[in-house]
Amino acid sequence: MESSFLTAILLPLALFIIMLAMGLGLTVADFKHMLVEPKAVLLGLVAQLILLPLVGVGLASIFPLSPELAVGVMILAASPGGPTSNLLTYLAKGNIALSITLTAISSLITVFSIPIVVNLAMVTFMGNGAALQLPFGATVMQIAAITLIPVSLGMLLHNQAPKVAAMVEARVKWLSLGFLGLIILSLMAKERTNVEDFFFQAIGVVVVLMLLTMGLGYAIATLANLDRRSTAAITIEVGIQNGTLAIAIASATTFLNNPTMAIPAALYSVLMFVVSGVFAWWIQGQPVVANVGKSNKLGRDNRC
């Protein structure tokens, strides 16, 4: 597959479809859940937007990675939760409304935080000469165009024709997974001469990043005395990021145009189903414990 077709057409199209699918399942009320149950939402956002990049930079510094792969790990750590995390939360019988709320709000915030985190990572791991490869203003506009616009279109369709949106959403989710698989195979084919070396360099840090961040989310939710369903949602949201967005930022021609940086996100996008699947199976066997005090209103909305 031609590199220009992958980075200029297929990647933006795949991300557009994935974010459209997310918007089809969103309503304005999802953003209001922060007022309903602020503790769970704030804990999830702090873990996802602050602690996760800190874990990422620590692991990228400890593991013997090339500078490009180290930056790739940081791109992944800076990305928001993706629509896949909502599906995985549903399979884990977690708090769907909380998961959707965290995904929606983190997607808004990371439009502005991604260029800051990635540029700092490039200075740290590649030197000062690479610091300006993601100009803040242009990057914010580009990320907003390929994420917020399709989400808004999906929300508009959901509001105007909810039955049509529900029907389209089911098909679009499978289409987006197909696109993701095609992108990963294309990236591996493009980097086939170095894929074995990259695989063994990145596989360890990707698995540890996923396990540590999921463990961090679980520990925070447990210490905060959240119920099992909210704990499951926060664990998955903190541990599962938008791999397609990370791949696009790393390899798309409008961003960094460096396919090597996309390798961690490509591996992550495959392995997350295995790790989160094991967690979903395990968490379903844990007892459901009600919150002390106010009931978990978020838990009443059990949409997928």
State which amino acid sits at residue 68: E
Total number of residues shown for the chain: 304
Gap between the Cα atoms of 297 and 132, Å rounded: 44
Statement: residue 143 has pLDDT above 90: no
Statement: residue 287 has pLDDT above 70: no
Q: How many helices (H) and strands (E) does the chain have?
A: 14, 0
Give the least confident one: 105-114, 182-191, 206-215: 182-191
Cα separation values, 190 from 4, 39, 131, 260, 277, Å: 11, 45, 26, 10, 29
For residue range 68-94, what is the model confidence (pLDDT) as tens digits?
Answer: 999 999 999 999 887 778 778 877 888
3-state secondary structure of 302: coil
> Are 114 and 48 contacting, i.e. CB atoms less than 8 angstroms apart?
no
When pLDDT is averaged across residues 264-282 and rounded to a whole number, the result is 85
Gap between the Cα atoms of 184 and 265, Å rounded: 9
Q: What is the mean pLDDT of the chain?
A: 80
If pLDDT is split at 50, 70 and 90, which confidence band does 59 have?
Answer: very high
> Are 82 and 18 contacting, i.e. CB atoms less than 8 angstroms apart?
yes
- List the CATH code of the domain at 3-281: 1.20.1530.20
